[in-house]
Amino acid sequence: MTYISFPPDRAFDFTAIGRLCIDLNANEINRPMEETMTFTKYVGGSPANIAIGMARLGLNTAFIGKVADDQMGRFITGYMQRQGIDTDNVVIDHTGAVTGLAFTEIKSPDDCSILMYRDNAADLLLKPEEVREELIAASKTLLISGTALAKSPSREAVFQALGYARKHGCIVVFDLDYRPYTWSSPEETAVYYNLAAEKCDILLGTRDEFDRMERFEPNPDRSDRVTAAKWFDFSAEIVVIKHGREGSIAYTRDGASHQARSFPAKVVKTFGAGDAYAAGFLYGVMHGWTLEQSMEFGSAAACVVISSHSCSDAMPTADQVRDYIERCARGEITAS
């Protein structure tokens, strides 16, 4: 059964809007960052990771964002281009803004955290008038990321992109991607997440992220079905709630639910799972797979990334995801 009809014959399968930043992942792992001395630099930013994941899976991909006018901005843009991602709508800031840094701490495979330096980050300075309508008109899918709603003018740029997407029949995916550092208050988060979610076709988030959206409409049992039902009164066709190692569940407008288990993984670090999951899941949905197949593919893609040191660099190809699934089926991979 097809839950989403993507517009055919467009130059891009997938376009993301949001932050492009730098991950600095501690090399000395399994210890607090106070004791780490060296880091490896990767392109980061949840929407960037997802776009890289989609390109790695073989989809025609573009990005809408803003980078600093410095070596880090040029590193990011060059890396995206080497992945085959169209960066014509990646704007260079000229106000002296900087690149957001995500220092990642890997205390243990299950205890990871991210220290974010995002003051005056260039990505949040993307303006509505810098969003190119023709790019969205040429895209089957637009992914928006919650953190881009945290500050103006990025917030208005996202709503401008949403307007173009609705005008041109582009399917909108909302990856909730809540990052506390960037927001002024929980109320502000809930207001803007709800305003954006009303215009989206597919919602992807964790239970905690959906809880944050429900400040004004309590869901005391934190019911996934209650959460999803609300969005079918708006534009949503699919609502996915992710539950970490416990797997994920999706609801569709027809009232059906779809579940996927997680795969075993030798976890190096937990973050990046959601980005890889989003790429793998959307890859399946865009290929007309069942939701169960798409969620399974996303789950396996997530395991490839959490078994690696990086997020962006580790985003798998379709063959690598299939190989991971097959190796698990043969019992060759067990959970750490």
Ligand X SMILES: O=C(O)C[C@@H](O)[C@H](O)C(=O)CO
Q: What does the binding site for ligand ATP look like in residue numbers (CB under 6 A)?
A: 206, 242-245, 247-248, 262-263, 265, 267, 270-275, 277, 299, 302-303, 306
Residue 152 or 336 having the CB closest to ligand ATP = 336
Residue 83 or 206 having the CB closest to ligand ATP = 206
Residue 272 or 298 having the CB closest to ligand X = 272
169: tokens are 């029949």
Residue 4 or 80 having the CB closest to ligand X = 80
299 touches ligand X (CB under 6 A): no
93: tokens are 């800031």
Burial class (CB in 10 A: 0-12, 13-18, 19+), 140: buried
Residue 161 or 315 having the CB closest to ligand ATP = 315
Q: What are the distances in angstroms from CA 88 to CA 78, 131, 155, 247, 334?
A: 12, 11, 20, 36, 43
Q: Taking the alpha carbons of 86, 80, 122, 48 in that order, is the dihedral positive or negative?
A: positive
CA 282 and chain centroid, separation: 11
Would strands 111-117 and 101-108 be described as parallel, antiparallel, or unpaired? antiparallel
CB of 280 to ligand ATP, least distance (A): 9
Residue 23 or 86 having the CB closest to ligand X = 23
Residue 23 or 275 having the CB closest to ligand ATP = 275
Residues 254 to 293 in contact with ligand X, rule: CB under 6 A:
271-272, 274-275
CB of 185 to ligand X, least distance (A): 20
**Which residues are CB-neighbours of 334 under 8 A, at least 6 positions away?**
264, 266
196: tokens are 């954006």
> Which among ligand ATP, ligand X, none contacts residue 141 (Cβ within 5 to 8 A by kind)?
none
CB of 53 to ligand ATP, least distance (A): 11
24 touches ligand X (CB under 6 A): no
Which of 190, 311, 314, 315 touches ligand X (CB under 6 A)? Answer: 311
204: tokens are 């992807």
CB of 168 to ligand ATP, least distance (A): 28
Residue 94's CB is within 10 A of a number of other CB atoms, namely 10
44 touches ligand X (CB under 6 A): yes
Residues 107 to 136 in contact with ligand X, rule: CB under 6 A:
114
Alpha carbon distance 250, 192 (integer Å): 23
CB 68 within 8 A of CB 75: no
CB of 293 to ligand ATP, least distance (A): 14
Which of 36, 49, 60, 61 touches ligand X (CB under 6 A)? Answer: 49
**Lateral strand order in the sheet of 257-260:** 86-92, 61-67, 12-17, 139-145, 171-175, 202-206, 238-242, 248-252, 257-260
Contacts to ligand X by CB under 6 A: 21, 23, 44-46, 49, 102, 114, 271-272, 274-275, 311
